[in-house]
Structure 1
Amino acid sequence: MDVINTLGLFIGSLISNTLASLSGGGAGLIQFPLLIFLGLPFSIALATHKVASVALGVGAAIKHIRSGSLNWTLAAYVVAAGSLGVILGANVILFVPGRIAEALLGGLIVGLGLYSLFQKELGQTEQPQHRNHVGMLLGGLGLALIGILNGSLTAGTGLFVTLFLVRWFGFDYKRAVALTLVSVGLFWNGIGAVTMYTAGAEIYWPWIPVLLLGSLLGGYLGAHLATQKSNRLIKRCFELLTFVIGFKLLFGF
């Protein structure tokens, strides 16, 4: 790429990952379409995006660890619960046309935003629930289903995990976003990238350094903002991103 395209790729990656790190998902909203716009075929763009998104989790993890807002036991639970789903989804997407699935996912994501919008106090304070053995088992099944979406589609599934952690386990938005960014951004996306690569998907390695830098810095910056801002602001950012991503997937623009 020339200097202008390289700069555009970096800025797009930085912006998308900053928003995702603040809101709990959605880095693919800008980054994935940008890769296609710059000339990569769908499958190569998807695999390349998955690899780059791992740096989002690294950047977020560094900040959340430093701030003491991350519970590694809970993060390990989310990783374990969703991993099999991620592997299954990453294998399936290589053989399934994505347009109908993306439209359905878009409708679901818009529904998430509407639900959060009308539940005024959702995620504003932590209210622990469903954290006994039965609740953790059922929660693990829910995360496994979201993992299938994460492995197979490009954007928005981190938002599912964020809202699921808020609604099912009673986390506030700050805690849920921290868990999502580390579990999904670092581990789920890493597992998905490795699975797609071993299944035959091609990664465009020349663009990876620029994408990794943008994802790493964006992940750290978004996590920094998330630790400084209120749960209500994070909730509003989450809702805004669900509407933008949802309508994009739904209508394909």
Structure 2
Amino acid sequence: MDGLHTFGLFIGSLLANTLASLSGGGAGLIQFPLLIFLGLPFSVALATHKVASVALGLGAAIKYIRAGKLNRSMTAYVMIAGTLGVILGANAILFVPGRIAEAALGLLILGLGLYSLYQPGLGKAENSRRRDHKGLMLGSLGLAAIGIVNGSLTAGSGLFVTLFLIRWFGYDYRQAVALTLISVGLFWNGTGAVAMYAAGADIYWPWLPILIAGSLLGGYLGAHLAGRQSNRLIKRCFEALTFLIGAKLLFGL
């Protein structure tokens, strides 16, 4: 790539990961199509995006750890609950045509945004529930199912986790976003990248330093902004991103 394309790749990655870090997911909305636009085949772009997006979770983790706002036990729970699903999804996507799956996922994500939009009080304040043994066991099944989506498709799984943590466990948006970024961004995406590579997917290594820099900085910046904003604003960002990602997946924009 020449200097202009390199700069564009960095800015695109920075923007995508800042928005994802603020909203709880969706970095693939910009970063993944950008890799295809710049010439990478679908499977190579997907695997490269997965590796780079690990830095999103790392950047957010650094910020939340420094701020003393990391719920370590719940982060570990979300990480472990979704891991098997991530591995299954990462292996399945290499053999399944993606267009129908992407359209179906687009409809689901649009539904998430509409649900949040028409639930004005959702996630604005913490309302602890289902955090006993039974609730955690049942919740792990939901997270494992979302893990399959994370491993197999390009964008949107973090948004599912964010809303699931709000609806099932009663977290507010700020808490749910923090848990999602570290569990999904750092651990699920890392697991998915390793699983795809082990299954034979190629990674375009020359672009990774640029993507990692944009993801790391974007993750930290988005986490910083999320910590300073109200749950109401984070909720609106979440809804806007669900509509954009849902439309992209559904209509192939």
**TM-score, normalised to structure 2's length?**
1.00
Partner of 2:163: 163
For 1:147, the aligned partner's letter is G
Q: CA deviation at 1:213?
A: 0.1
Partner of 1:131: 131
CA distance in 1, matches of 2:69, 2:117: 25
Q: Give the 3-state SS of the residue equivalent to 1:201 in structure 2.
A: coil
Runs of 4+ deviating beyond 4 Å: none
Unaligned runs of 5+ in 1: none
Partner of 2:236: 236
CA distance in 2, matches of 1:72, 1:51: 23
Q: CA deviation at 1:70?
A: 1.2
Partner of 2:40: 40
Partner of 1:195: 195
Count of residue pairs the alignment pairs up: 253
CA distance in 2, matches of 1:67, 1:167: 25
CA distance in 2, matches of 1:237, 1:16: 13
Q: Does the 8 Å CA contact 1:70/1:175 hold for their aligned counterparts?
A: no
CA RMSD, 1 decimal? 0.4
Instruction: Give per-residue Cα distances to partners, 1:167-208, cap 9 Å, x unaligned.
Output: 000000000000000000000000000000011000000000
Aligned runs of 1:14-25 on 2, under 5 Å? 14-25=14-25
| Residue 142 (str. 1) matches residue 142 (str. 2) | yes
Instruction: Give per-residue Cα distances to partners, 1:63-85, cap 9 Å, x unaligned.
Output: 11111221011000000000000
Unaligned runs of 5+ in 2: none
Instruction: Give per-residue Cα distances to partners, 1:146-183, cap 9 Å, x unaligned.
Output: 00000000001100000000000000000000000000
Partner of 1:64: 64
CA distance in 2, matches of 1:199, 1:13: 26
Q: Does the 8 Å CA contact 1:82/1:147 hold for their aligned counterparts?
A: yes
For 2:168, the aligned partner's letter is W
CA distance in 2, matches of 1:156, 1:3: 31
**TM-score, normalised to structure 1's length?**
1.00
**Which sits farther off after the overlay, 65-74 or 53-62?**
65-74
Partner of 1:205: 205
Q: Give the 3-state SS of the residue equivalent to 2:30 in structure 1.
A: helix
CA distance in 1, matches of 2:66, 2:120: 30
For 1:196, the aligned partner's letter is M
CA distance in 1, matches of 2:252, 2:232: 30
